[in-house]
Every structure is written in C-alpha cells, then in structure tokens.
Amino acid sequence: MARIAIDAMGGDYAPKTIIEGALWGATEYGVALELVGRREEIEAEIEKIRNTGYILSDCGTKGHKRKIHIDLEKIDYTITHCNEVIGMGEAVGQSIRRKKDSSIVCAVQAVADGRCEAVVSAGSTGAAMAASLFGLGRIHGVTRPAIAVTLPTMREPVVLIDGGANSDCSPEMLTQFAQMGVAYAKLSLGIEDPTVGILSIGEEEGKGNALVKETYPLLKQMHEEGKINFVGNIEGKEVFINKANVIVADGFAGNIVLKVTEGTASMLLKMIKTEFKSDIIGCFIGLMAKPFLRRILKRINWEVFGGMLLLGVNGISVIAHGRSSAYAMKNAVGAAVKVLNQDINGKIAQSI
C-alpha cells in the first residue's frame, strides 16, 4: 500500500480541512498516510472525526455540504510531529533553510527518506516548490521543475505548464516544460500523442514576446524531429477551446492565465447570483436554475482536479490550492495516486 505524506499545517483552513480531506482520500483511494505537523492539533482534529464518525464537506459545489463517513479503524495513518509552519507571506528561500522542522520540509523528507511515495501540500506554493526541489532533487537532465495544472475546458481538460514555479524562463526551459507536459498529459488525460502549443499573443509564427519568438523555432524543430506534436501559438482566448492538449508558458504568464480564469469565473457567477436576486421573479427562476448552474460549477471547479503537479523533481509532489476544502484535498490525494503507479518520473527522464 502506497503511503502519502501530508503537510497537515499548510492551507488557509489547515489543519481541519487538510486532515479531513486526507483521511477521505485515504478511504477513497486505499492509501496510507503520514500526517506531518503539530501532533496535538492533528490529534484534536482526528478526535473530532472519531467522535462523530463523519466529516462535513461540499463535493464540488460550494455551500452544499454532505456527510462523508470516515472509518478511522480502516485507515493506516501515522503522525510525524514537527513544530514549525511556513506562512503564506514568508520569504521562501530563507524559511526553507531556517525552518528545518516545518511541516512542509518534514513532509517532503518523508518522501526523500523513502517512507512515503508522494507529498501533498496546500501551503505556500513557493515553499512547497522549494522544499520539494531541495528535498527531492531534480530528475537527471531537468533544468528547472515546473508546475503542471489541469484546466477544465468545453471538452477534455488541458494541461498548462508552467503554472507559476518559474517567473523568468529561458527558451530551453520552455522546451523542457513541453516535454514534461506531454509525458504528464499522456498519463493524466490518457491522450496518446498530445498536441503542444505555446501561449502567445497573436496566432501566427513570429508573434509574441522575445521569449516566445525564441522558443517557437526550438519547438518547431522538436516537432520535425518527431519529439513532440507542436501546433503553434495559442492565444489567451484559445486556452479553453482545445486547440492544444498541452499549453507551454513561462510561470509568470501561466500563473496569470490560472488566476484570471479563476477571477473571471468567480465574477460571472457572482453577477448571475446578484442578477437573479434583483427581484422576486428572479429569485424564483434562480431557485429553479440552481441545479443547472451547480452542474456547471462542478465542471469548472478547480477543486475537482485537487492539485497541481510539480514536474521535474525526483518524487511526486502535489501542490494543492491554498483555499483547499476537504473535497479539494481528497482530490489532491487522488491526483498523487493517479500518477504514482504510472512511473511519471521515469517517463519524464526518458523524454528529456
């Protein structure tokens, strides 16, 4: 049975939703857990679950909570105590080096020591990334690890890489992101020969910033050598229309895509709510429309994908959203389990 290390202290609602989600994930995916963090706080949360026998969580639609039964007797979990926590605002490099006894550093160490097969954290993305990089090292040949994110679209999801690990990139880094993204899309989306595009402004070759213009010919050459299936530039509005299965971007632009998508969707859904509430007939129609809108919410909800994968490190490291609910955390465990048995890192090593 695989064992997953959980950074129990990372996340806006930690340790509560983190532990709830991890235990739920252990139940659903049949894995063991190493819960890493302040023992007292972790035990207090587990005690609550022991007393009731269930947790309350939404299942992909906000504000609609269900009872999820958790049978602690059936879950194989251990607790590893550590004292420190790295906060969201802390300078990443420093805190990783100084706080050797922090939950994220210790959780990564559990993978490095071979006790666990994967680590999941909903804490500071920068800290999780740095801890994974320092603790696990890079796959041979990989210059810089990158974050692969699965985004919902009208049809099958797309893989965006880099989602924010590297703010400044070289063309060579982007070509590696393409290769890692392809390896990941093959496994996670089950596509045999995923198409690859590069995020740009303007559709034609020669459009974009200096980085894109320099990377384009390199990707084109890899295409001609049969290494990847390159389809050219992808504009911001084309991210969601499945023009490519894998979209390559520097971490700055990639993260902006992620966050703007989140922001736009959130604004639209709020507007819809407000609009329906504007009069009594609207309230009535809104009530009837609710199940339909809820299905859409579930389709576009990032929580369904649970976490982003840090590709390029020697081990499985899943970075969950800071605002992770128990449901999101459960799915983050699922995301780790999914790639665990498919030797993603072996495949990345092969392709680089």
CB of 142 to its own copies, least distance (A): 21
Nearer to its own copies, 1 or 288 (CB): 288
Identity of the residue, 56 or 201, whose beta carbon is nearer to its own copies in the bound complex? 201
Distance separating alpha carbons of residues 210 and 208, to the nearest angstrom: 7
The candidate with the shortest Cα–Cα distance to 236, out of 266, 210, 197, 191, is 197
Is the Cβ of residue 59 or residue 272 nearer to its own copies in the bound state? 272
What is the distance between the alpha carbons of residues 55 and 49, in angstroms, rounded to a whole number?
Answer: 6
In the complex, the smallest distance separating the C-beta of residue 233 from its own copies, rounded to whole angstroms, is 12
Q: How many CB atoms lie within 10 A of CB 220?
A: 14
Closest to its own copies by CB, 186 or 321? 321
Structure tokens at 2: 């695989």
Single-letter amino acid code for the residue at 270: K
Residues 203-209: contacts with CB under 8 Å, at least 24 apart? 203/232, 203/233, 203/235, 203/238, 204/233, 205/232, 205/233, 207/233, 208/233
Residue holding tokens 């369904």? 304
Residues 6+ apart with CB under 8 A from 40: none
CB-nearer residue toward its own copies: 56 or 241? 241
Least separation in angstroms between CB 206 and its own copies: 8
| Whole-number Å distance between alpha carbons of 205 and 325 | 42
Task: Name the nearest CA neighbour of 181 among 7, 2, 351, 9.
Answer: 351
Nearer to its own copies, 41 or 214 (CB): 214
Nearer to its own copies among residue 137 and residue 282 (C-beta) = 282
Nearer to its own copies, 129 or 344 (CB): 129
Q: How far is the CB of 2 from its own copies (least distance, A)?
A: 32
Q: Please return the burial class of 113, using the count of CB atoms within 10 Å of its CB with bins 0-12, 13-18 and 19+.
A: exposed
Residue 56 CA from chain centroid, whole number: 23
In angstroms, give the least distance from the CB of 229 to its own copies: 22
Cβ proximity to its own copies: between 56 and 91 the closer is 91
Residue 47: which H helix or E strand, with range?
A: helix 39-52
* Owner of token pair 């709020």: 270
Name the minimum Å distance from CB 163 to its own copies.
Answer: 10
- What does 253-311 look like in DSSP terms, one character per residue? HHHHHHHHHHHHHHHHHHHHHHHHTTSHHHHHHHHHHHHHHHHHHHHH-GGGT-EEEEE
Give the nearest distance from C-beta 60 to its own copies in angstroms.
Answer: 15
Q: In angstroms, give the least distance from the CB of 61 to its own copies.
A: 13
- The residues that touch its own copies, with contacts defined as CB under 8 A, are 89, 91, 126, 153-154, 164, 167-168, 199, 201-202, 204, 206, 208-210, 212, 235-241, 250-253, 255-268, 270-272, 275-276, 278, 282, 285-286, 288-289, 292-293, 295-296, 299-300
Residue 62 CB, shortest distance to its own copies, in Å, is: 16
